[in-house]
Structure 1
Amino acid sequence: MSPSGPPPDPPTVQAYIGLGANLGDAADTVRRAAAELAAVPGVSALRLSPLYGTAPVDSSGPDYVNAVAGLDTTLPPLDLLSALQAIEQRHGRKRPYRNAPRTLDLDLLLYGDRSLGLPTLTVPHPRMHERAFVLRPLMDLAPGLTLAQGGLEALLARCADQAIRRLVR
């Protein structure tokens, strides 16, 4: 039997990550977290949307700074989730109760066209279509993207009651 050569490279998948923070210097935290994410082995071509300010949704505390990162990855979804959680931990993320204010929140929004319903991960993110703080920055990166619930622009119009402002810094 002849050697078959090196194993094939894992496929590259386009993923989108929601970034948010509302404790400390939230804008700086979001930017640093994006840089840390770009340095994860298996992640490449990271693009970060502009930063947006939003009031907390189903939460409390100061306003949030939100963004979305689009990236290419060869990591399987659970490995990417583990990398996101490790970045959150490095930034002091605590989970004292659901929707508590946070130093950093990283959510895997989309992983290619895959749908996953695991105990630790649901993709597409189950509430992203209801959140202006996800839809507006996602439109900056992928304006033609369509979710199962519809196009981003139409979905964002349904969130008109959620104030969102682009931050200039």
Structure 2
Amino acid sequence: MQPSGGVTAYVGIGANLGDARANVVDAVARLRRLPGTGVTGVSALYRTAPIDSSGDDYINAVARLDTQLSAEALLQALLAIELEHGRERPYRNAPRTLDLDVLLYGDEQVGSATLTVPHPRLAQRAFVLVPLLELAPALVIPGLGPASAFLDGVADQAVTRLDP
């Protein structure tokens, strides 16, 4: 389904357990099946080292959605996709089969018990900023400013674009 007139949302996708690349690709396919939601762009896949964590390198990407789901409903749909991939949360920043994060939801700033948008570490993570800026080079992060302004601050975080 390709809705129109919805909210543009950006979703971070990452995995470093199991077949991480396949898990990220499958997550995009599942995003395409969300009700009231269309995937309007997907970045390349990137390999990144874990930050504040351990385990294998991550495979990361960002998807741009046009969605009629509320921010909270989108979050719940993402959590359900994670569970379908066997996501467990034994401790903070544990390695994961799949991680899906609402990075941005239109121009909204959301602060609830379950969701913070813009994602609180968005501007501190190259694995988010690089694919996000691939999709939207002029993107402005609500309350923070141009996303590109944060690239110098994450220049020490290696991000390797993968071949298709």
Q: TM-score range by the shorter chain?
A: over 0.9
Out of 28, 34, 44, the position equivalent to 2:38 is 44
Work out the percentage of aligned pairs sharing the same amino acid: 58
- Measured in 2, the distance between the counterparts of 1:160 and 1:132 equals 7
Q: Taking structure 1 as the reference length, what is the TM-score of the superposition?
A: 0.91
Distance 1:78 1:56 in 2: 27
Query: Following the alignment from structure 2 to structure 1, what is the Cα–Cα distance between the partners of residues 5 and 100?
Result: 23
Partner residue, 1:126: 120
Corresponding residue SS for 2:132: helix
Shift of 1:156: 1.3
> What letter corresponds to residue 106 of structure 2 in structure 1?
G
Structure 2 vs 1, CA of residues 119 and 10 (structure 1 numbering), >3 Å: closer, same or farther? farther
Unpaired stretches in structure 1, ≥5 consecutive residues: 1-8
Instruction: Between 37-46 and 136-145, report the one with greater CA deviation.
Output: 37-46
Q: Residues of 1 paired with 2:112 and 2:55: CA distance?
A: 30
> 41-50 or 28-37, which moves further after superposition?
41-50
Q: Report if the CA contact (8 A) 2:31-2:39 is conserved.
A: no
One-letter amino acid matched to 1:81: L
TM alignment of 1:49-128, pairs within 5 A: 49-128=43-122
Matched with 2:144 is 149
| Cα shift readout 1:40-67 (whole Å, capped 9, x = no counterpart) | 1111133110000000011110000000
User: Structure 1 residue 151: deviation in Å?
Assistant: 2.1
CA distance in 1, matches of 2:150, 2:36: 31
Segments of structure 2 that go 5 or more residues without pairing to the other structure are: none
Q: CA RMSD in A?
A: 1.5
- Contact 1:21/1:29 (<8 A) preserved: yes
Partner of 1:160: 155
Given that 1:38 and 1:46 are in contact with CA atoms closer than 8 Å, whether structure 2 keeps it comes out as no
Count of equivalent residues? 161
